[in-house]
Structure 1
Amino acid sequence: MLVNGAVIAGKSAVKGRSAEETEQIRVVLRERFESLDTEYALAVAENQKLRLVEIGDAAGDDQADSGSKTAERDAATSLLRTLLDRRQQAEAALQRLDEGTYGNCEGCAQPIPAARLEVFPSATTCVACKSTRERRAG
């Protein structure tokens, strides 16, 4: 479905990707964004509920209770950050699709393999450039 080609200009087809293929990609990315957006909204609501319960239920807590609540709060915050990051990645992928740069590596400008985009539709780099970045960071 996510066909590797070169640059796409808006919704028109360029260099090996038809307008239909581009629209299929847009649908997949939009569905991914909407799913993550819904999941994020639910996680925010759950986090707020957790905080309200925590505020009203703190009387009589010992160190273990306090530690457990802190661990739950940290896990919830981590989940929110992860969901927000993934949602932003999906939104950025849609923007790259509109700009005509979706599917091309930010590092070397070569097309990102279709298999990589199918597994990770928000990918911005090919495997080689990603590996290089990770080696430099580590």
Structure 2
Amino acid sequence: MTATQKKAASSTAGRPAAKNTASVSRAAKATTPTPPESAPMPTTKATGGTPAKKTAAKKAAPKPTEQAAARSAEEVEQIREALTERLGELRADYDKTVADMSELQRDRLTDSAGDDQADTGSKTLEREQEITLANQMRERVLQVEHALERLEAGNYGMCERCGKAIPAARLAVFPSATLCVDCKQLEERR
């Protein structure tokens, strides 16, 4: 029984049976059969006369080769050079940070003989912050390496989640982006 039929049946529950069947038949007339393609979209009484929605077929995600074909060899080479340069910078920064952390750790071990608990806590906090910074730098290195792998595979600039092209403006700001703006926003909400 449809919602319209239930509503009609409940509103006529106290009336005689003859009137009750008339209400049900009116409710049945309210829903129209599916018209041919050339006819206008049907409206439903339950939704207040709004057009009924048609279900659209889902569009298949573009294949990586479509995006790769859109980029010229010169463009790919420019992207590769920029990513390789950025990778070199990030690796140098990471190596320097790790070396500095090792040196600071040696200094802390020799200086900690007469420290009180507050000094020990401060040093531990500083060490944790340095480790976090180094981990973030390492993550950036991995992102750029992954972008280079995607470039070689021919799917650089395509969203890993939905398959849509990542806007050029986003790639210009964040060349190692693997998600389009919409998918990234969904990920950040979780």
Pair 1:68-2:122 in alignment: yes
Q: Which of the residues 102, 105, 108 maps onto 1:48?
A: 102
Pair 1:92-2:152 in alignment: no
TM norm structure 2: 0.64
Match of 2:79 in 1: 25
Residues 18-45 of structure 1, C-alpha deviations (whole Å, 9 max, x = no match)? 1111100001111111111000000010
SS where residue 67 of structure 2 aligns? coil
5+ long unaligned stretches in structure 2: 1-65
C-alpha root-mean-square deviation of aligned residues, in Å?
Answer: 1.0
Q: Which of the residues 170, 173, 182 maps onto 1:116?
A: 170
Higher RCO, Cα 8 Å, sep 6+: 1
Match of 1:101 in 2: 155
Seq. identity, %: 50
Amino acid corresponding to residue 130 of structure 2 in structure 1? A
Match of 1:3 in 2: none
- Separation in 2 of the partners of 1:134 and 1:75? 23
Deviating runs (4+, > 6 A) in structure 1?
none
Flag the structure with larger Rg.
2
SS where residue 113 of structure 2 aligns? coil
- Separation in 2 of the partners of 1:79 and 1:107? 28
- How many positions carry a matched residue from both structures? 125
5+ long unaligned stretches in structure 1: 1-5, 9-13
- Separation in 1 of the partners of 2:162 and 2:116? 55
Q: Which of the residues 131, 135, 140 maps onto 1:77?
A: 131
Amino acid corresponding to residue 105 of structure 2 in structure 1? R
Match of 1:7 in 2: 67
- Separation in 2 of the partners of 1:131 and 1:78? 24
TM norm structure 1: 0.87
Shift of residue 64, structure 1, vs aligned partner:
2.0
